Each structure stands twice: as structure tokens, then as C-alpha cells.
Amino acid sequence: MYICILYAYAKLVNLNMPASTKPGIDWKAVGRRVREIRGFGVNQAQFALELGVSQGQLSRYEQGSSEIGATVLLRLARTSGKTIEWLLTGRERL
């Protein structure tokens, strides 16, 4: 269900843009937001355990070298109180 929501959101965002100018998700920026959520008081191993991923995978997320799946995005949103939209775009819904 959540994958369908993410797909629908992605289609909605890109609906009025020509194919050549469709924006992709900036995974480096998403990684910075994940790091922001983790904060300075929690190490990667602890936070990864909370999210149900390995420390290495969390590191790849924070570096922006790996895309984050719907399940982990949902866990991040619930953990932080932020929206999935904010995680992916840095913008809150108006």
C-alpha cells in the first residue's frame, strides 16, 4: 500500500513536467535529512537497530549512495514525526 502511495506521489509531482526535465529524488539531500533525524546523541548502530537495518546500510542512506525503500521511509517518518514528503523533498505539505 505504501509503495502505491509513494508511486502516486511521484507521478503527481512529475505530472506537468516534460519528460526531459522531470526531477529525480536527490538521495544525497535525503541522506542529509536522515542524518538530521538521527541527531548527534545517537550513533549509527543504535539508530540502524531502531529502523531495522544494518549500520552499513544506514551509512549508505546517509551518504546518499543507496535509495531508501518504502518500509524504511515509513519507519523514518514515524520515528521523527516528519512526513515522507519532507524526507524525499525537504518540503512540508502546505
How many domains, in total, are found in the chain? 1
The answer to the question of residue 1 being in a domain is no
The answer to the question of residue 84 being in a domain is yes
Give, as one character, the DSSP assignment of residue 23. Answer: -
**Range with lowest mean pLDDT among 15-24, 51-60, 72-81:** 15-24
Mean residue pLDDT across the chain? 85
Given a contact cutoff of 8 angstroms between Cβ atoms, the answer to whether 67 and 27 are in contact is yes
Please say whether the dihedral angle defined by the alpha carbons of residues 57, 62, 68 and 72, taken in this order, is positive or negative: positive
Given a contact cutoff of 8 angstroms between Cβ atoms, the answer to whether 55 and 48 are in contact is yes
CATH number at residue 32: 1.10.260.40
Neighbouring CB atoms inside 10 A of 11's CB total 9
> Can you give the residue range of the structural domain that contains 67?
25-94
The answer to the question of residue 93 being in a domain is yes
pLDDT at 92: 81
pLDDT at 78: 96
The mean pLDDT of 8-27, rounded to a whole number, is: 62
At residue 53, does pLDDT exceed 70? yes
pLDDT, one tens digit per residue, over 5-16 is: 555 565 555 555
The answer to the question of residue 71 being in a domain is yes
The mean pLDDT of 69-77, rounded to a whole number, is: 96
